[in-house]
Amino acid sequence: MTILLQIPTLVLLCALQGADGSGKPEIPAFQLNAAEQERILDLFQATEEKISADGTVELTYDFEREDRSLGDDWFPSPGSEISGKVRWRRDWEGHSRGVSGGVIIADEGQWFHAAVWQPDVRMELTYVSFLGGRRGDMVAAVFAWSKRLRQRVGSNLGTQLVRIAGTRAVGGVGKAPTIAYEEHHKFGFELKEGRFSSLLNGRAKEQTDSKKILKKLGRGQVGLVWRGTISGIVPQVKIRGKLDLDWAADQIAPLRERLDQHRQEMVSAAE
């Protein structure tokens, strides 16, 4: 009976003093209101979209539908005249077992999603090759950060974790994949709590938390990087992660105002 009386008293003291018992009021974590969540989803053209109050966003791009607006969230856009290495399929190409359309990638190139994410993000996709591969070929799902996205780490078709400079692998962990004609590769990566994992069929294959590979890890962008004798199609991409709210706030004025106000309250509470 005594214990039951003491527990609410302790909870009340923590609420008055703050979580650390310092006597300073605790500022709750920033939460997006319903209007802000809707405005953020309006920034994207994905086939399916979800968002939570803490800024976790889920985006699915079903490129098989060949809805040209889906390419607006990516650069270069598959619909642009200068993106010959990233383009929508033509009528006579792109058909494979279980695949009826999508975005074609070829030769050597890169293709990034426009959003900026915290280093807490997962990307998965399907890739089907029109060619048999050669040694050294690479198709990697990538997280890139720092100025001009120079720092890059990727999952090479899921079986190999690679450090990337531009479009070239400069170090790897795990076995390099073999690209087979019309083989469906379901792969991607997960970045969470300072650890990068290559994913193959939804499961972690290779992992690293190396400070050398993940040097000055911070907010960044997700995408694809490829090099070699590459010609294939991407029918679907899924992204789930913590969106960088500063990126969103730069495009949504009311969100910027409220986010800055929240941060000022946190500074004042800490003083």
Q: How do residues 133-176 score in pLDDT, each as one tens digit?
A: 888 899 999 999 999 999 999 999 999 999 999 999 999 999 99
Q: How do residues 60-95 score in pLDDT, each as one tens digit?
A: 999 999 899 999 999 999 977 666 799 998 776 656
Tokens 């990034």 correspond to what residue?
112
Q: How do residues 42-65 score in pLDDT, each as one tens digit?
A: 999 999 999 999 999 999 999 999
| pTM, entire model | 0.89
Helix (H, G, I), strand (E, B) or coil at 3: helix
Tokens 């997960």 correspond to what residue?
190
Q: What CATH architecture does domain 34-254 belong to? A: Sandwich (2.60)
Q: What does the domain layout of the chain look like in residue ranges?
A: 34-254
Strand bridging mode 231-243 / 117-129? antiparallel
Which amino acid appears at position 254 of this protein? P
